[in-house]
Structure 1
Amino acid sequence: MIILKNVTLRRGAKVLLDNTSVTLNPGEKVGLVGRNGAGKSTLFGLLNGTLHEDGGDYSIPRQWRMAQVAQDMPETEQSATAFVIEGDTVLLAAQAEVDAAEASDDGMRMAHAYMELNDAGAHDAEARAQALILGLGFKVSELNNPVNSFSGGWRMRLQLARALMCPSDLLLLDEPTNHLDLDALVWLEAWLKRYAGTLIMISHDREFLDAITQVTLHIDNARLVRYGGNYSAFEDMRAEQMLLQQSAMARQQEKIAHLQKFIDRFKAKASKAKQAQSRVKALERMEKIAPVLADAEFNFEFHEPLNLPNPMLSMSTTSIGYPPLAEAPPGTPPTVIVRNINRSVHAGQRIGILGANGQGKSTLVKTIARALAPISGEVTEGRGLNIGYFAQQELDVLRPQDTPLEHMIRLAKETIAAGRSGYVAGREQDLRNFLGTFNFSNDMVKQPVGTMSGGEKARLVLCMIVWQRPNLLLLDEPTNHLDLSTREALSVALNEFEGTVMLVSHDRALLRSVCDEFWLVSRGGIESFDGDLDDYQRYLLDEAKRSREADTD
């Protein structure tokens, strides 16, 4: 078992854990939660041996083998399969012994070495590695592609597969779902449920934590508090504790009343559709944990749009995709991803966009956001349409060398020049004040964005969107860098938003709480999906099976 007894951990002058104790038992699956900066990654440093306790005692069984995802971006011409196989450290050691035994010309040593190589699983190593790679969303045709041929997000998936390939008694996962689509996330969830060792996981995906963990370890006020149960059970227990301690003071009561107001409003509006009923359950959950939400360090709201065109936009026999590359030969046709779309988006709709990886979800959002021109057909916009767009690569819109204040000043000037409606602050102080509502205060407004964390950058993009006062929100994976409390703040803000929301996300809790209907992008078309997210997970698993069978034919 893992034992921390009166442990103190510091990073610089800051005390992250202060004289705290906890015990984790073999085979437990643990969710490690706490606010940003609370010390979650620092505790991982203690567990993996890169950091040492500043006080107290820490012990872990010596014989335990540990696996974790390497955070560096792999640079190698190795094939994807070979790269993942090398994650099996036991197999590598056995192969090294075979090579040494053969070089020594010692028959007995060679016999033992070959036996150990067989016991290490050399006979099925390639099959095991490829099962992991395919499960994480790669195609059969990509199994032998060089690692360097993949984009950064896909290379990080290979790092995850490599960690899962490693035989381990302790598996440490820090945000394993960050680069995954919903289909890969569902596969990983099933794999981790079967994992026999001790798992400790940092994640900001509530449903992922709920599905896998049985213990929640909360870092709170420099202490580790152990709760029996998954993340939702932890929230319930913590909410009860906070009520018993009467910690919900006047400010919190005001927030709770605010939450209650929109929960009541949407419960009253909900239809009998499965999606709407799923949303009601999500809102009822927020009602139950209102004290926890009220205690969050960050919240925000989208202001009421100045106008609501209806329809917001219409697509008529529209085909979407990508133009030919600049270096392509003349006459090269565009790449069409989705064809013949006939859809309208109306005021007040809350649409979740579903579809397996590569089917065209982001292409659809980019086209509506004007980042891509339609290949054919028309996209007709309502008069006064004002789009707030959170791109999947949202950080690309930020300039690393510029500060949050410089971003806001530039946005204000662009808004005035374009004559768009929105907030046009006349003074720098107005922009500083607005940034302050998104937790950018004092020196942070003058800090280069390139030095900020992913969560801080994502918060800045949200700040810029809110400032523009949109009536249509296009959100493509907005939660990738957001912690749990900021995800909850986003969920509350989206539910209160009076305009239209179109959302692509692998965060099922966010989809459930925000969306009343779903569009499915699949096989070159778009259709309404009548089921809820549980039905969609079953659909994804069926599609993955069909795709694998098609690839092997």
Structure 2
Amino acid sequence: MSQFTDILEREFPAIDNELKDYVEGVLCGSLEDFESCDDIYEAVGDILQSIDTGKSEENIRDLCDEFFNIIKKNTKNEVRKVLNAPVNIAAMAKEMENVDKNMQSIWLTTKDGGSKVNSKKLEKAEAKLQQKQEKRQDVVKSAVAAPVKLQTATASQVLSKKNTKMEQKGTNRSMDIKIENFDLAFGDKVLLQNANLLLSLGRRYGLVGRNGLGKTTLLRMISDRQLAIPSHISVLHVEQEVVGDDTKAVDSVLECDLERNRLLTREKEILATLNSGVQDTKLSTELNEVYAQLQNIEADKAVARASVILRGLGFDADMQQRPTKSFSGGWRMRLALARALFSKPDLLLLDEPTNMLDIKAIIWLENYLQSWPTTLLVVSHDRNFLETVPTDIIHLHSQALEAYKGNYEQFEKTKTEKLKAQRREYEAQMAHRAHVQEFIDRFRYNANRASSVQSKIKMLEKLPELKPVEKEVEVKLKFPEVEPLNPPVLALSEIEFRYKDTDPLPVFKNVNLSATSDSRICIVGENGAGKTTLLKIIVGQLTTIHGNIISHRGLRIGYFAQHHVDHLNMNTTCVGVLAELFPGRPDEEYRRQLGSFGISGQLALQSIASLSGGQKSRVALAKMCMADPNFLVLDEPTNHLDIETIDALGRAINAFKGGVILVSHDERLIKVVCKELWVCGNRTVRGMEGGLDEYKREVYKEIEAANS
């Protein structure tokens, strides 16, 4: 063993004693254990490579060859006993059959009483076990390979005869939207039943509820007019990104004003005709009318208004002149939002508008929507946004819609008090029922009390039946149980990065970042400042030739990418997603992992395509944690998650024993978990001593300076 020790200490001076003892223990075999140096490489090659990553595979194989020669030499020195001639065991056994019954044979062993195992029961148990294993394999196999039938949403509605007649005659001029007695389903799942929705002109409604209950589906049904809405009310749903072409960003926004475009086109046509020498008083009169209409809709201010909206959403002067095809998907979604804000429909439907925005743009949007002139219905899980923008909250739960006046904070208080009152009323009625029933049972057969008993029975029958208050199940997320690593865990020193060597300026430079198992680092900054790029460098997806990255040898990073959900296989099930990435594991392990992130029961066997955005995010988190990471790098993990799940994510991060680096624009989550705030901007990353509040003060100053 000393020969192996000398070589290991010579080649790997930093090797610790436990690892050295393990390698020596493996190598203390013989030629029966290792037939070639390749066998030794398979046994310890990866371990040796991990000790010193500077050694090439060829170096490690040379060491394995040296180890094999030592084993070969030691084996030759061993004294071996060999037989003079081959032994025919079958012939010897046959000869022993004829020996005296009293003689015991080493070849023929007998037991008194025969076998004590019931062969029929054994066969039955083996068959049952085999059937169970085949069934388990079939479930996993079908989860991965079977084609998934995509479900669709359907809506049904009982229409009022009065409203139908008014719609047919064209006499309905009300700008309020009243959708009554409608049902909503997604496949076999009922989302809403006998629901009613009232949207009054000028009110701003926040639609809230748990993931998967049908908020996005409701918005789509309204925008597609599968739920009846007066035809004179214009509806715009910001869902799809702008199609990229050669149109400038600012012109793409201006195109939304159809009336302005029509009048400008007609103006050009009339001027062209008049300039050609045609004398026509009717055309001159029409041109004056066109000018009057353009003045009435303030067409001269349209370009400035479009520019203000684009600037607020992060488009500088140069970006506003760029063609739409030059922007990424996230920026095209911002363009779609800008077009919607510019066109001012009678009913604007927004689904998670803050997902694509940084904190600066979110603050601008909150201020802009507070003076929105028409009706707004927005689905959002950004608590700060819901406390700033809506005048009303609509709560989707238990297949019903319930309206509350005020913002989200007022909604929570009112809902809590309402649930307490309902619980007290239910408990009081149950106590009253029990008291009356006791009287009935006591005097049921008493002739003198017969009339009283009958009146009590009738009274019970007339009492309204109250249902017990259903308490919403608390959302729980659980990251893997890991042992914290001793520092240093991760350190970035003087990092500078360019996507191309020819780029005149780096994305950032002079980046110094260190993290331990106690770190809770939150990174903020404007879109395009390099936050995602920095995370990709940390996890090794991007490499940089400037600066150093030092990481603990036991570091296992779990990376949740910003568009992680888009990379899930939509044609498989939740279990199938994990089985594809980690094949061969028991079905129960996949189910248990999904259950740690709230994907349990039949939900785990549903297709990814049928899940809500928040449920897909949970599947992506479960997939990330299958590798048992001890350090988390999360890029916008709150996108699509409901408020309760975001709160659960904050608790799970705080309970996690490893380090966390997080990019997020959700103020509530940042305040819950952040111990250290880093700001990306001006081609570098800097620490912010005052935390999120100090950063927001800087942002407000920038917005005020831009507006002045």
Normalised by the length of structure 1, the TM-score is: 0.78
Aligned to 2:644: 485
Aligned to 2:260: 91
Q: Is the 8 A contact 2:352 2:640 kept in 1?
A: no
Matches for 1:207-222 after TM superposition, within 5 Å = 207-222=384-399
For structure 1, the 5+ residue unaligned runs are 54-58, 248-291, 325-330, 414-424
**Mean CA deviation greater in 36-45 or 486-495:** 36-45
1:474 is displaced (CA, Å) by 1.0
Output the amino acid matched with 1:27: G
Output the amino acid matched with 2:409: S
The change in CA–CA distance for 1:17 and 1:2 in structure 2 (over 3 A counts) is farther
1:83 is displaced (CA, Å) by 0.7
Q: Is the 8 A contact 2:480 2:656 kept in 1?
A: yes
Aligned to 1:51: 226
Output the amino acid matched with 1:469: D
Q: Is the 8 A contact 1:309 1:385 kept in 2?
A: no
Matches for 1:335-346 after TM superposition, within 5 Å = 336-346=506-516
Aligned to 1:537: 696
Q: Is the 8 A contact 1:312 1:472 kept in 2?
A: no
Aligned to 2:305: 128
1:506 is displaced (CA, Å) by 1.3
SS of 2:657's equivalent in the other structure is: coil
Q: Is the 8 A contact 2:191 2:214 kept in 1?
A: yes
Output the amino acid matched with 2:260: L
Flag the structure with more relative contact order, 1 or 2, with Cα contacts below 8 A and sequence separation at least 6: 1
* TM-superposition CA deviations, 1:437-482 (whole Å, max 9, x none): 4344566556564665433332111102333332221111111222
Q: Is the 8 A contact 1:183 1:356 kept in 2?
A: yes
The change in CA–CA distance for 1:152 and 1:430 in structure 2 (over 3 A counts) is same
Aligned residues: percent identity? 37
Output the amino acid matched with 1:486: T
Aligned to 1:80: 249
2:556 pairs with 1:382: no
Output the amino acid matched with 1:456: Q
Alpha-carbon distance in 2 for matches of 1:496, 1:178: 26
Matches for 1:311-330 after TM superposition, within 5 Å = 311-319=488-496, 321-324=497-500
The change in CA–CA distance for 1:379 and 1:334 in structure 2 (over 3 A counts) is farther
2:413 pairs with 1:236: yes
2:633 pairs with 1:458: no
2:192 pairs with 1:17: yes
The change in CA–CA distance for 1:397 and 1:28 in structure 2 (over 3 A counts) is closer
The change in CA–CA distance for 1:298 and 1:522 in structure 2 (over 3 A counts) is same
For structure 2, the 5+ residue unaligned runs are 1-174, 274-279, 425-468
The change in CA–CA distance for 1:294 and 1:489 in structure 2 (over 3 A counts) is farther
Matches for 1:159-170 after TM superposition, within 5 Å = 159-170=336-347
Residue number among 178, 189, 196 corresponding to 2:355 in the alignment: 178
Alpha-carbon distance in 2 for matches of 1:299, 1:158: 36
* TM-superposition CA deviations, 1:186-221 (whole Å, max 9, x none): 111111112232222111111111111121111222
Aligned to 1:522: 681
SS of 1:301's equivalent in the other structure is: coil
The change in CA–CA distance for 1:446 and 1:44 in structure 2 (over 3 A counts) is closer
SS of 1:137's equivalent in the other structure is: coil
Aligned length: 481
The change in CA–CA distance for 1:426 and 1:138 in structure 2 (over 3 A counts) is same
SS of 2:370's equivalent in the other structure is: helix
Q: Is the 8 A contact 2:212 2:611 kept in 1?
A: no
Aligned to 1:473: 632
Q: Is the 8 A contact 2:212 2:615 kept in 1?
A: no
Aligned to 1:223: 400
Alpha-carbon distance in 1 for matches of 2:576, 2:221: 38
Q: Is the 8 A contact 1:29 1:215 kept in 2?
A: yes
The change in CA–CA distance for 1:294 and 1:509 in structure 2 (over 3 A counts) is farther
2:519 pairs with 1:349: yes
Output the amino acid matched with 1:161: A
Q: Is the 8 A contact 1:322 1:372 kept in 2?
A: no
Q: Is the 8 A contact 2:495 2:544 kept in 1?
A: yes
Q: Is the 8 A contact 1:352 1:504 kept in 2?
A: yes
Q: Is the 8 A contact 1:4 1:20 kept in 2?
A: no
The change in CA–CA distance for 1:436 and 1:92 in structure 2 (over 3 A counts) is same
Q: Is the 8 A contact 2:241 2:332 kept in 1?
A: no
Aligned to 1:33: 208
SS of 1:486's equivalent in the other structure is: helix
The change in CA–CA distance for 1:18 and 1:345 in structure 2 (over 3 A counts) is same
Q: Is the 8 A contact 1:356 1:540 kept in 2?
A: no
> Could you say what the CA RMSD is over the residues aligned between the two structures, in angstroms?
3.1
Alpha-carbon distance in 2 for matches of 1:202, 1:49: 17
The change in CA–CA distance for 1:146 and 1:296 in structure 2 (over 3 A counts) is farther
Q: Is the 8 A contact 1:309 1:383 kept in 2?
A: no
Aligned to 2:323: 146
1:297 is displaced (CA, Å) by 6.3
Alpha-carbon distance in 2 for matches of 1:461, 1:528: 30
Q: Is the 8 A contact 2:537 2:543 kept in 1?
A: yes
* TM-superposition CA deviations, 1:303-361 (whole Å, max 9, x none): 33133232321222222x2442xxxxxx7469632222233212212111122222222
Aligned to 1:261: none
| Higher fraction of strand | 1
* TM-superposition CA deviations, 1:401-443 (whole Å, max 9, x none): 5543343235446xxxxxxxxxxx9523322332244344566
Q: Is the 8 A contact 2:509 2:683 kept in 1?
A: yes
SS of 1:336's equivalent in the other structure is: coil
2:206 pairs with 1:206: no
Q: Is the 8 A contact 1:312 1:345 kept in 2?
A: yes
Q: Is the 8 A contact 1:322 1:375 kept in 2?
A: no
